[in-house]
């Protein structure tokens, strides 16, 4: 049972952004500090990647652990909601299926793709190593 009223839940959901999220901003700022320049949200590429490095043929997606269902068992943010599973399960599965299709299309076009999960943005030092090893 949802603890919020339908109106409050709707207001919460309406405030969820697809671009400029806190995890995405952390990755963008760190990549810039490390000296990497990128393009944002290219609509001409499958999935509208968060960061695109055209000269390196590299793409980074910053995925929210809940919305994209982080497969890491230790990630607590990817737990399915207990209320309305008949709604949430198909919705989240569609997100995963779409992510997979976009990734396949990008790889077939010759792009290297990295997914950074929301929970991975908390450790800046480890994130910097991941970015450098992927982009160098």
Angle at 92 between CA 60 and CA 112, to 5 degrees: 20
Residue 20 pLDDT class (50, 70, 90 cuts): confident
Give, to the nearest 10 degrees, the angle between helix 124-135 and helix 22-33.
60
Helix (H) or strand (E) holding 6: helix 6-14
pLDDT tens-digit map of 66-83? 989 999 999 988 988 888
Residue 84 pLDDT class (50, 70, 90 cuts): confident
Question: 9: helix, coil or strand?
Answer: helix
Residue 3 pLDDT class (50, 70, 90 cuts): confident
pLDDT tens-digit map of 93-136? 999 999 999 999 999 999 999 999 999 999 999 999 999 999 99
Check residue 70 and give its pLDDT: 96
Percent helix, strand, coil in the chain, to 5, is: 50, 10, 40
Check residue 58 and give its pLDDT: 98
Check residue 14 and give its pLDDT: 64
- What is the model's pTM? 0.86
Q: Return the structure tokens found at 9.
A: 């839940």
CATH class (in words) of the domain with range 20-135? alpha beta
Is the model's pLDDT at 5 over the cut of 90?
Answer: no
d(CA 25, CA 89): 28
Domain coordinates of the chain in residue numbers?
20-135
């Amino acid at each position: 049972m949802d603890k919020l009223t339908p109106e409050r839940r709707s207001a919460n959901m309406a405030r969820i952004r697809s671009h400029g999220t806190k995890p995405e901003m952390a990755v963008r700022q760190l990549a810039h500090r490390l000296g990497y320049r990128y393009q944002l949200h290219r609509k001409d590429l499958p999935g509208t990647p968060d960061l695109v490095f055209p000269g390196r043929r590299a793409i980074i997606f910053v995925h929210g652990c809940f919305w994209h269902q982080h497969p890491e068992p230790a990630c607590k943010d990817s737990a399915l909601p207990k209320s309305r599973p008949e709604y949430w399960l198909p919705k989240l599965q569609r997100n995963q299926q779409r992510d997979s299709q976009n990734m396949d299309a990008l790889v077939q076009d010759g792009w290297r793709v990295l997914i950074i999960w929301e929970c991975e943005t908390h450790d800046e030092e480890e994130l910097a190593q991941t970015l450098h090893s992927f982009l160098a």
